[in-house]
A and B are shown apart, each in its own frame.
Chain A
């Protein structure tokens, strides 16, 4: 029943798109604030135990979304498994990293900041900011700012995941949840008088179900 409620509460399938846009807006702002070359959010896919590019701003924005890699590899992996934010500078000196980075980001960053996306008890993913300007030394203030973005991104990621779960319920074969969601959508679009009548009908159905096998009740309500 909770799943049904979640499915209906999600309202329309459009919410998933809105949360994606929100996540995209967060990486765009993070990139702009830090004056960085790129910023991305990775989602931890619990089923496959992989990190997935969920939103990318700047370099790689066109072709990285959806790309996956094992959850404990790379700097994003460190950050996910240790739950600790990390800043690394002068990365391109390391050939192993350069190859890995090129494979996963399409370019070799000079440095990066990465922070885990923690929401309630869960580590949902990782936020990365790549190649902030090198002239200023990294400071704890930036770490704090990054943490604020991470809070925001974690909430957006959580909403996105919930919307996806709701969609999965809607797409289940028995179709009950889908029928309810369609009903909710129709109700939203209905003319006022139509909606009033529909509302009464729904209340009657609810009372009917609450009364168990009480066909009598249905008659009275109508």
Chain B
């Protein structure tokens, strides 16, 4: 279905925009052949993510899960009775499993990357906006290389501040990788052009990703039938853009471990040039 005709979509309405169904990849093939060849081998061949710090801004991460391994650190962002948001060491781990699942995916792709958990979800739905903003601000101040955000907010009152934070991350060389919606929903921060937004494709390959010439969703990564870490040390099969996002976060970690000098803009270009549908994927 051409969901791309919905409002908020700016590309060719005949092309898939919000997700990439099986067999549709050739429809968004891009023939551009730039003179300087950027290959996957150059971009992240033999990379492990070593030296790259990835922050999982989510529900916490279960320490020692076989799919996650060790964490560099873990904090929880909480809102006090006076409305003030503060950051404290997190001893509780993961309250719902979402963050552990995301961390496990990054670990599988970038085994030597350093993972840091910033818990902004799980303490109730109310007041989650200021906690999310406080957590993101803290994470940007720490100078992480990559921040994985498999979440969004629909509240317009937070959009402006989130936008400023996303831009400040972009200029400070922190790459924000955020889950897009698979529907034409107005939510943030994935809609901002300073972040890397991710939707799902249906292929079973973890390193397969596509550039989307019909934004606002910019990349499609593996998001269907993914084996994810589950609380209590187990695994389970799951689907959703929440799990496509850490695939791209992991690939960003690989690229940055080999090319630490890249800015978010350059990194996004490398992703574009090495996407499976660009110049045949190389």
Contact = CB atoms under 8 A, between A and B. Distances in A.
A151 B234 CA distance: 33
Interface in B70-108: 95-98
B232 A96 contact: yes
A116 to B, nearest CB: 9
A138 interface: yes
Given A71-B125, A72-B124, A84 B19 contact: no
Contact of B126 (A49, A86, A139, A143): A49
B1 interface: yes
Given A71-B126, A140-B19, A143-B19, A83 B240 contact: no
A88 B238 CA distance: 4
B182 interface: yes
Interface string A89-106: 111011111000000000
Question: Counting chain A CB atoms within 10 Å of each CB, which of B20, B21, B202, B240 scores highest?
Answer: B240
B122 interface: yes
Interface residues of A, number: 42
Contacts of B150: 82, 84
Interface stretch (A118-126, A159-167, A185-193): A118-126
Question: Counting chain B CB atoms within 10 Å of each CB, which of A77, A139, A143 scores highest?
Answer: A143
A215 to B, nearest CB: 47
Contacts of A222: none
Contacts of A132: none
B206 to A, nearest CB: 17
Given A89-B236, A137-B225, A84 B151 contact: yes
B125 A72 contact: yes
Contact of B124 (A71, A139, A141, A151): A71
A46 B126 contact: yes
Contacts of B202: 139-140
Contacts of B257: none
B125 A80 contact: yes
Contacts of A141: 21
A72 B123 contact: yes
Given A82-B151, A83-B154, A90-B236, A138 B124 contact: no
A6 to B, nearest CB: 22
Contacts of B238: 86-89
Given A139-B224, A140-B21, A84 B121 contact: no
A49 B154 contact: no
B243 to A, nearest CB: 9
A138 B151 contact: no
A34 to B, nearest CB: 14
Contacts of A137: 225
Contacts of B148: none
A19 B31 CA distance: 51
Interface of B: 1, 3, 18-22, 59, 95-98, 121-126, 128, 150-156, 179, 181-183, 185-187, 200-202, 224-225, 230-232, 234, 236-242
Which 6 residue pairs spanning A and B have beta carbons closest together?
A87-B239, A71-B125, A82-B151, A86-B240, A89-B237, A147-B183
23 contacts: A49-B124, A72-B121, A77-B96, A80-B125, A81-B125, A82-B121, A83-B153, A83-B187, A84-B152, A84-B241, A84-B242, A86-B239, A87-B239, A94-B230, A94-B236, A118-B154, A121-B154, A122-B154, A137-B225, A139-B224, A140-B20, A140-B22, A144-B18
